Chains A and B, each alone.
Chain A
Amino acid sequence: MSQISSREPALLGVSDLVVEFPVEGHRRLRAVDGVSLTVGANEIVGLVGESGCGKTTTGNAIVGLVPATSGTIRFDGREMERGTAAEKRQLCCDVQMVFQDPMGSLNPRLPVGDAVFETLTVHRNRLGLTTREARQSRVTEIFDMVGLGADFIPRYPHELSGGQRQRVGIARALAVRPRLLIADEPVSALDVSVQVQILNLLKDLSQELSFACLFIAHDLAVVRYMCDRTLVMYLGEVVEEACSDILFRSPSHPYTQALLSAVPDVDKGLAARGKASNRIILRGEVPSRLNPVSGCPFHPRCPAAVDRCQSEKPDVADLGEGHLSCCHFSR
């Protein structure tokens, strides 16, 4: 549903991405259902939604960790699926990922410096780091950049705190000079005071090293802080997209409105004290993906749903300034 970056060629362009998984009984679970998005050069784009909405699967499909059932993913104008083996390896270098759980994504038996060194060895010719010494000095350089210092290089993951481990995860991803970083819930396992350090680090490095970032998170306030543009996903579909300022100030889709009103927020909470709550409480839970919902995917929980929502799937409404909303009543 993305149209915003059509003026300039986007770094990453995903269109009509569908990812299905086979489940028992020869059925297919559609985890991602026609997602289109773009990430421009140096842009930080947020992808938010509740668990099970398909945001992580979208990220995994972009880096090729899960195969896309249909749809196209273009990076820098080239289709990722179609390339030669050499081109695909170049893509590995250009698109890197930071995972949610740094303990689970680092080898517990490998010193963290070696984990970074290994990726440099794999991509040594593409990076021009053919000698061991060159790679070692790159490891030192990148550890310094993420605020760890060289004395962390020989340590093992269990010797590090959660925040330090996530810095290693970021160092490993950025060591090969990617142009796009997919960050999948990079701070949700961390305490608030550490969370800010990692967010600031990612923000600063994206400026300094000029890479783009697809930032996947469930915490709306974190996305608000980090991202230039935000996409909201529900049941495998993008339901609203806008630049963050607009989306958080005047959300158009009822799901985004409910999501924003559900987030506990210090300012909102203090302002509402002693008053009747005007929070939108959604009925029920996210329906199972095995029983597809007719019409608008949100209609069973939507406070504003009418008969039409049940039968007719809404089109994308363009509200101007790149604000897109997938609801019959958006205008």
Chain B
Amino acid sequence: MEHGKILNEKPQTRNPELGTRNRPPLIDVQGLSVGFRNGRDEVVVVRDVSFRIREGETVALVGESGCGKSVTALTLARLLPEPPAFHPTGVIFFRGREVLQMSSAELRAIRGGQIAYVFQDPATALNPVFRIGFQIEEAVRAHRHHVDSRQEALRLLALVGLSDAEACLRAYPHELSGGMQQRIVIAVALACRPKLLIADEPTTALDVTIQAQILDLLKRLQNELGMAVLLITHNLGLVADVAHRLNVIYAGSVVESGAVEDVLTAPAHPYTKALLGVVPRLGSTSERMQGIKGMVPSPSNRPAGCPFAPRCPRVDDACRRTMPSTQTAGGVDHQVRCCHPLKEKS
């Protein structure tokens, strides 16, 4: 068992929450900005984003649509076509090397090989005209020579919990259900035993009972393979369930970050607090939720100061003038980008 071999290579923690804090960062993003050119317009979509992911850790990137979550994720392995995207500014250290300075050959080696992606819609992530077996084997062959790709594909299918592996390999994507397709996409992503799995809304297109299966699978695989996961989602329930750390992104900037317990029980940024207030809860009574007034500003039309200022209940002149800097808020590693952070426990 090759996966057995990797398990023995490094000390395995059954509970990855323990001890992840002291590990070296696997990926360290500092001051990342990404923009696009559209005709004569230049739009900065991601502004000065910093975060790090340690080995074996699950970090969530949370925000509403249009906040730059997916653009950030795609930039980590430089998957955005340039142009229309600008060359990103800032630094991305991946295992000590600068991703933004890599040659295309070096990038090809880490894409899929060390950083793998799982996207929202499995139906479009798989190629409709090739059999499943070919698509998994292709990923194995791309980065791992001297491996029997057929055997490896069968093992990967077993790993993601598909029982009739031989039949699956012969199937075309349309012959499988959404849940099975997403398992295949995960199998393809795991084909080269990535150090970092970037899961961009991995369960949004799935039904809740299937979503529970896929989340359970991702948790189990992370424990077994010791990989780090960047989970991109708009669902705070999901974050509370699976993530260790959380970055809240609003209008292209990380406005709050910290351990999930700290951020969700004592949010320091008014946006995080407002976001928590609009999530319908299963256990709630019919108490009225207060919406957040206004809308997320479009990237071409963002306010000068704090991006949340037009919708913020605590806004004053200072917020409208300058972008607040990042400051510490209470807990370990709990940071907030706000002029007037909330102090009290909510």
Contact = CB atoms under 8 A, between A and B. Distances in A.
B122 to A, nearest CB: 14
Nearest to B271: A193
Contact of A200 (B274, B283, B289): B289
B210 A265 contact: no
B158 interface: no
Contacts of B211: 262, 264
Given A196-B289, A225-B286, A285-B179, A273 B280 contact: no
Contacts of A196: 278, 280, 289-292
B240 interface: yes
Contacts of B295: 161, 163, 194
Given A279-B216, A282-B213, A267 B283 contact: yes
Given A193-B64, A263-B282, A273 B289 contact: no
Given A193-B291, A196-B289, A258-B209, A264 B238 contact: yes
B210 A200 contact: no
A274 B15 CA distance: 8
B209 A225 contact: no
B114 to A, nearest CB: 28
Nearest to B237: A264
16 contacts: A50-B209, A51-B207, A191-B234, A193-B274, A193-B278, A195-B280, A196-B291, A200-B289, A219-B280, A220-B208, A221-B284, A262-B209, A266-B279, A269-B239, A273-B260, A281-B213
B71 interface: no
Interface in B264-314: 264-265, 274-276, 278-286, 288-292, 295-296
B235 to A, nearest CB: 6
A50 B284 contact: no
Given A50-B208, A163-B295, A262-B209, A222 B282 contact: no
Contacts of B274: 193
Nearest to A190: B65
A251 to B, nearest CB: 11
A130 interface: no
B212 interface: yes
A225 B284 contact: yes
B127 interface: no
Interface in A27-48: none
Interface string B6-26: 000000000101000000000
A200 B288 contact: yes
Nearest to A204: B288
A263 B208 contact: yes
Interface of A: 50-51, 161, 163, 191-197, 199-200, 218-222, 224-225, 245, 248, 258-270, 272-274, 277, 279, 281-282, 285-286
A282 B261 contact: no
Nearest to B290: A196
Contacts of B279: 192, 221, 266
Interface of B: 15, 17, 64-65, 177, 179-180, 207-213, 215-216, 234-241, 260-261, 264-265, 274-276, 278-286, 288-292, 295-296
Contacts of A285: 177, 179-180, 210
Nearest to A263: B208
Contacts, number: 134
Contacts of A262: 208-209, 211-212
Given A264-B238, A281-B213, A50 B207 contact: yes
B282 A220 contact: yes
Nearest to B311: A193
A281 B282 contact: no
Contacts of A221: 237, 279-282, 284
Those 4 A-B pairs whose CB atoms lie nearest each other, nearest first: A269-B240, A264-B237, A221-B280, A262-B212
Given A193-B64, A222-B280, A262-B208, 13 more contacts: A50-B208, A191-B296, A195-B280, A218-B208, A225-B286, A248-B283, A260-B282, A263-B282, A268-B241, A269-B240, A270-B265, A272-B241, A277-B216
A13 to B, nearest CB: 25
Contacts of A263: 208, 237, 282
Given A225-B284, A273-B260, A218 B207 contact: yes
A284 B322 CA distance: 53
A206 to B, nearest CB: 13
Contacts of A191: 64-65, 234, 296
A260 B282 CA distance: 8
A248 B295 CA distance: 32
A273 B240 contact: yes
Contacts of B289: 196, 199-200, 225
Contacts of A282: 209, 212-213
A270 B291 contact: no
Given A50-B209, A192-B64, A224 B241 contact: no
Residue among B209, B215, B238 with max Cβ neighbours from chain A (10 Å): B209
Contacts of B64: 191-193
Given A161-B295, A273-B260, A266 B240 contact: yes
B284 A281 contact: no
B241 A269 contact: yes
Contact of A224 (B65, B260, B280): B280
A146 B99 CA distance: 49
A248 B274 CA distance: 25
A195 B280 CA distance: 10
A83 B290 CA distance: 44
Contacts of A195: 278, 280
A185 B328 CA distance: 41
Contacts of A248: 282-283
B214 to A, nearest CB: 10
Nearest to A282: B209
Contacts of B236: 266
A191 B240 CA distance: 18
Contact of B212 (A194, A222, A281): A281
Contacts of B238: 264, 269
